[in-house]
Amino acid sequence: MPCIFKDKELHIISNGKMPIENFREIMMDIHPYVTAIHLREKQKTAKELFHEVQLLTSANIPRTKIMINDRLDVALVAKARGVQLAFHSLEPASVKENFPLLRVGRSIHSYEEAVDAKINGADYVIYGHIFSTQSKLGMSPKGLEELSRLTKLDIPVIAIGGITPENTAEVLRAGASGIAVMSGILDASDPLAAVKSYIYELKDGDGKSEKYI
């Protein structure tokens, strides 16, 4: 099922703490409304991560939305949509050369890293953290000004970090191609309602669309 909004993307990222069964229950409700579901499970083995993909797909969650963090081997064997690469991962160019149909994202934290990701053929970058967030206590946020500078590089930028429905429109006005959310949805008392709040801001890409019903 395609996303209901047109141009802007909504990525959901697992937190590495929530039991996969709980994560699956949430994804069963919200996957029609999101662009990508990232399995970011740094402590899991390849075998465990593969099993998590199987659990998701057995609940009719599309493989075409599943992104695997760092583990190219799991992404390929599990037939996921793509892989999200970190600074220590393989270079996007190497992955794209060998697996051109795989969607390849790169996580970045600076303008220079964005330039490198673009040159190396990444399909998009995830950049942050934009606002203060509990997961990055003591670390200064990147802010909207730097985000705006980075989005002029002609590579899609997915913003992450402290993004709420209330500040999503600011992020879009800064030029972001979408947002990535973790606690704003996974920790919500009603994840589906939380997703719809984000969709309200994302649907037409300007925060001015009619509310989704």
Q: Which two tokens stand for residue 4?
A: 């209901």
- Within 10 angstroms of residue 38's Cβ, the number of other Cβ atoms is 23
Q: Which two tokens stand for residue 113?
A: 């890293």
Residue 202: strand, helix, or coil: helix
Q: What are phi and psi of 186, to 5 degrees?
A: -65, -30
34 vs 43: CA distance, rounded Å: 25
Nearest in space to 64 (alpha carbons), one of 109, 18, 26, 102: 102
Question: Could you say which of 11, 31, 38, 129 is catalytic?
Answer: 129
10 vs 43: CA distance, rounded Å: 25
Q: What is the largest CA-CA distance in the chain?
A: 44
Say which residue the tokens 């669309």 belong to.
Answer: 209
Is position 129 annotated as part of the catalytic site?
yes
Residue 190: strand, helix, or coil: coil
Q: Which residues are catalytic?
A: 129
